[in-house]
Structure 1
Amino acid sequence: MRQNSVRKEGARSRVPHASDHGWDDGAQQGDAGRPPGHRRRRGSGGKGRPRRRKRRVLRWSATVLSVLILGTAGAGYLYYQHLNGNIETDDLNLGEHRAPEPTPNAAGQTPLNILLIGSDARDSKENQKLGGAKDTFGAPPLADVQMLLHLSADRSNMSVISMPRDTLLTIPKCTDPDDGKVYPESGPRTMTNQSLGRGGPGCTVATWEKLTNIHIDHYMMVDFAGVVSMADAIGGVPVCVDKNIHSRDSRGKGSGLKLKKGTTEVQGEQALQWLRTRYGFEDGTDIGRAKAQHMYMNALVRKLRENTGLTSPNQLRKLADKATKALNVDDGLGTIKKLYDLGNELKKVSPSRTTMTTMPFDYVGARVVPKPGDAEQLFRLVRDDIPLDGKGKKKPAKEKASDDPAADDDRIAVQVQNGTRTVTEPPATGRASTVAQILAAKGFKKATPDMTTALTEGKTVVRYPSVDLEGDAQRVAKALGLPLSSAKKSTDVSGVTLVVGADWREGEMPPKPKKKDDRTPDSADALSGSDKKACMKVNPDFTW
């Protein structure tokens, strides 16, 4: 991991900066010759802010920790300039391609997407002790927890999607930035938690973007030891179980969590046990664990917003130090000021407008795969910046025809690819050839099938590489009865390319698009951040 250094800030203009509140961690005039990483507070020399003001800044900054998952957090205590040196950074995306950036709303605002990663690295004695599994000491880390946090463009609501760690999918080609090692694209049934060991957190980001087509702006990662240190600094977080629980089976497996029925405030190693418990919650799978993590995060956010137990400046300083030492983030969040700015954005959302969900899934043996239809529905809602709590509706954008005129049909070169493969079904045989013939019959004489490529594409799409081919791509879409929005710019293609999706495995024409349903699927198991009555169901085999 590379240690962070002072970098160009590059924060978006719409985000309020620390300097707006009288603080700045940038180098000041007269700092020449100071050691690397040295910062000083603006207005030093005996003219600091009043003490009450300092406390207020600290409390506001504590809301950065609302992004905690397994202790993943940021801190914004600006007068502790050495905290910048605590933060480690890595590249944001190690894949070859990026999901498209979202279109700004009418006010020029864009959403913010942050991937929260909990690493199970056993790369130190402390992590090995906390994580157990001595046989995995020093092995490549796994992404034990993965959650995508989506902050709406207007900052009115926030959504979180958890992905079970044993989800089977395709991990894209990733290149390790430290040693240049190239990890080729995996098969379609690779567990998503393996992405972290293929070059670092940037490969986990690339995997999410490939699956969801959601543009990810930042990531935040922490390991076992970081969870414990920050949970200690935060103090107790209330959690609830409906029976006495002891997460330990006859073979010694389990987190060791032992709680009495009702509500208990957990902290330190006990908080880590709660977040890692699988044996004992519900059906003993990663799904129950995700629910427990959602409850913990919701309770933590409420605590931090209410400043419960965090009234002492010494407590807040301790929390800041622990948080920054535990953090690994991308360069875009690699300074205290940037984390402070992020905290100011996150605190705009009330718990009642925060929604926790789990990616809809189907079981394949002991593993899971994204649930056809429902998973893509959830991803689309996030891409379109539609609140998952159902309290706000985004008006559908009117489809706009390209300003670039299309060529005559018989002059448009179209490559047709078979994207009908899914995680549960093989590709429909000969589909590229069949659809190429359908296009040729409609006048697209230069339509040719790609006989070697088999892709996985949920819905039929027409891709084009540059704006001068947008009109041609839209013309192909229109000829097939597809919406103009199915023509998408992509660097994955060199010309107009029709990818026949799993929605068109047979027949002469693609299915007509249904009216968009902007409801969060029931299978996402949504939980409101304001739900104080949520309580984990304990498996009877793990009660005492």
Structure 2
Amino acid sequence: MAEPGDLGWDEGLYGEGTRVPGSRTALDDERSPDAAQAENGSGGGHRRGGPRRRAKRGKRRILRGVAITVSVLVLGTAGAGYMYYEHLNSNIRKGERSSADSDVRKSAPNAAGQTPLNVLLIGSDSRNTAANLKLGGSKKSVGAKPLADVQMLLHVSADRKNASVVSIPRDTKVDIPKCTDPKTGDEFPATRDLINATLGRGGPGCTLATWQELTGVYIDHWMMVDFAGVVAMADAIGGAEVCVKHGVYDGPKPNVPGGSGLRLEAGTWPIKGEQALQWLRTRHAFESDFGRSKAQHMYMNSVIRNLKDQNAFTDTGRLMDLAETATKSLQVSEEIGTVKKLFDLGMTLKDVPTSRIAMLTMPRIPDPDNPKAHVLPAPGEADRLWQMLREDAPVDGKAPTSKPKPSAAPKDPAADPAEIGIMVRNGTGVNQDPTPRRAAAVAGLLTGQGFTGAKADGTPEAESRTQVLFPSVDLGGDAHAVATALGIPASAVRKSSEVSGVTLIVGADWRTGDTFPKPEPAAGPPKNTETVMGDDKGACMDIYAPYRI
């Protein structure tokens, strides 16, 4: 039978070890004369094939068997782990990140080279599975295109030390860009509609594209969940505590059919499963979509506190359970479509203190065309919120945690204003007629400041935001000089291969007026909205009087 050494293993690991010939050890000096004679093959000692040698070989066989068994177990465990990892990956349903073209760019890195993370969270009202139909809706809704009735943007600061969640109500009227459904190839023209209709106009990638056009915030990924997924995730997480100031039953009322079915006594209660879904869907008892958003924020904050209290971010067993459920329940954009990438994404919240997690709803005003049912982003305040997200400024009004990178001066200095050639294009016609002669008007503003080379350019263009483009590094200083003269932020200046000289595109954000519109200074939290902080354990929902019990 082969010995361990014959297989390339070190005998010293399995028997009594070997000596270098000619060497002596402490054991040599302690051996009896009989033992020395036996080793030399003389005297009355044991021979090499005697009981001691057989015992030694027996020990080696046992240890060799243990080693083989351990090796098989290690390899088997590794194989099983790999198979389970692949199983989790196969659960994940993926889709295209964006279904529309966009000129929105990622935020610049901070002083440490880090960039913010923006993830769009979408709740679909699809009833196109038996499980979803059972949880809500009627048979009439089967086959209908889903609506994105819950939309939240998770923003995590570049240094991962503060975070915010911003909701946009489902009945917000917005400009929806041209989208292409990645599954069917169907094209949907640009339109103006409620934001929840985006899901049926190219999938979650169209919802993401609409958010980008509205906010100017680059969104890295989307994640979407349906009714059944919410129930499964709520159970896997272990539920969350919620609070109501009065007893509530969100059931049908005269002339107000439907309702989530939520029924709770006054006080604080743990909820999970279908009851968690009822809480998240309740609208009438919370008086409006804005009340529903606030209740959703309370639930999410409670979930995050719960996970942190359970050490779920570091507990391998809990992570495995959550991974199994999450990969079955979520649909995600394709660039995060692996377990590792989802795990890394989840870890971004691990070190964010709950005291620096702010959740709020977009500041809004009634839509003049339908003030009772629809809303619009509030001019000024909504713009200021989007600016805060773009600039990675915390929306809770507290001190920033991430230091911005100092602005670098253009490598090439600007020429004399009179020597700079500038083409001005009218890009104000986004989902509406462009402002007549807008390019000529802005070119006139530049001429009045000494930029006599500014000319109106009739090239068709439509851009949501004003931008100054330049084709090569040597014209960067000229482009920044144009932006400075008109009060356009430096973030709107960028290099582009699509222009042949300095080109100013006047976007839909500057349809009228001689001064580029600026949002209010980003100081303090946004106004005209509800903000719920992550560490507020005492948050409790008001109940609309007709639904109190």
Partner of 2:323: 320
- Aligned partner of 1:532 in structure 2 is 537
Match of 1:413 among 397, 407, 422: 422
The answer to whether the 8 Å contact 1:122/1:131 transfers is yes
Aligned partner letter, 1:152: S
Structure with bigger gyration radius: 2
Shift of 1:522: 2.3
Give the structure 2 partner of residue 402 of structure 1: 410
Residue in structure 1 matched with residue 268 of structure 2 by the alignment: 263
1:165 counterpart residue number: 170
1:353 to 352, 356, 365: 356
Q: Which residue of 2 aligns with 1:184?
A: 189
Instruction: Indicate which of 315, 336, 340 corresponds to 2:339.
Output: 336
Partner residue in 2 for 1:278? 283
Tell me, in whole angstroms, the C-alpha distance in 2 between the residues paired with 1:235 and 1:77: 27
User: Could you tell me how far apart the structure 2 residues matched to 1:311 and 1:439 are?
Assistant: 58
Aligned-pair CA distance for 1:108: 1.6
2:143 equivalent in structure 1: 138
The aligned residue for residue 213 of structure 1 is 216
Moved more, 365-374 or 271-280: 365-374
- 2:537, 2:359 → 1: CA distance? 14
Q: In the aligned structure 2, how far is the partner of 1:194 from the partner of 1:146?
A: 12
Are 2:384 and 1:377 aligned? yes
Residue 366 of structure 2 is aligned to residue 363 of structure 1: yes
Q: 1:97 to 1:492 in 2, by over 3 A?
A: farther
- Offset at residue 48 of structure 1 (A): 9.5
Q: Is the 8 A contact 1:420 1:502 kept in 2?
A: no
Structure 1 residues 171 and 215, CA gap change in structure 2 (3 angstroms): same
Alignment equivalent of 1:46, drawn from 68, 73, 81 = 73
List per-residue Cα deviations over 1:145-165 (Å, max 9, x = no partner).
111111111111111111111
Task: For residue 473 of structure 1, report the CA deviation from its aligned partner.
Answer: 2.1
Equivalent residue letter for 1:162: S
Within-5 A mapping of 1:64-83 = 81-83=86-88
**Contact 1:78–1:337 at 8 Å: present in 2 too?**
no
1:233–1:455: structure 2 CA closer, same or farther, 3 Å change rule? closer
1:517 counterpart SS class: coil
Q: Does 1:438 align with 2:445?
A: yes
Aligned-pair RMSD on alpha carbons? Answer: 3.4
Residue 37 of structure 1 is matched in structure 2 by none
Amino acid at match of 2:73: G
Q: Distance in 2 between matches of 1:523 and 1:201?
A: 28
Distance 1:231 1:133, change over 3 A: same
Asked if the contact 1:412/1:446 (under 8 Å) is kept, the reply is yes
In structure 1, distance between residues paired with 2:484 and 2:315: 63
Output the TM-score relative to the length of structure 2.
0.76
Quick one: which amino acid aligns to residue 417 of structure 1?
N
Give me the whole-angstrom Cα distance separating, in 2, the residues matched to 1:357 and 1:481.
30
Higher relative contact order (CA 8 A, sep 6+): 1
Could you say what secondary structure the match of 1:437 adopts?
Answer: helix
1:25 corresponds to which residue? none
Deviation at 1:377, TM superposition (A): 1.1
CA–CA separation in structure 1 for the residues paired with 2:215 and 2:455: 29
Structure 2: tracts of 5 or more residues without a match: 1-69
* Alpha-carbon contact 1:112-1:153 (below 8 Å) kept: yes
- Pair 164,494 (structure 1): closer, same or farther in 2 beyond 3 Å: farther
In the alignment, the residues of structure 1 paired with residue 189 and residue 314 of structure 2 have an alpha-carbon distance, to the nearest angstrom, of: 50
Give the letter aligned to residue 266 of structure 1.
I
For 2:24, the equivalent position in structure 1 comes to: none
Q: Is 1:476 aligned to residue 482 of structure 2?
A: yes
Determine if the alignment matches structure 1 residue 127 to structure 2 residue 127.
Answer: no
Structure 2 matches for 1:288-299, cutoff 5 A?
288-299=291-302
> Structure 1 residues 414, 205: closer, same or farther in 2, change over 3 A?
same
Q: C-alpha displacement at 1:260, in angstroms?
A: 0.7
Kindly state the Cα deviation for residue 431 of structure 1 after the two structures are TM-superposed: 3.5
Instruction: Tell me if the contact between 2:462 and 2:507 (Cα under 8 Å) persists in the aligned partners.
Output: no
Task: Report the equivalent of 2:31.
Answer: none
Whether contact under 8 Å (2:88, 2:324) holds in the other structure is: yes
**Which segments of 5 or more consecutive residues in structure 1 lack a partner in the other structure?**
1-42, 51-75
Counterpart Cα distance in 2 of 1:450 and 1:288: 47
TM-score under structure 1 length normalisation: 0.77
Deviations 1:129-188 (A, max 9, x none): 21214322111111111111111111111111111111111111122222222222113x
* AA partner of residue 476 (structure 1): V
Letter in 2 for 1:497: L
Q: In the alignment, what sits opposite 1:85?
A: 90
Q: Percent identity?
A: 47
More helix by share: 2
Distance 1:468 1:118, change over 3 A: farther
Contact 2:245 2:267 in 1 (8 A): yes
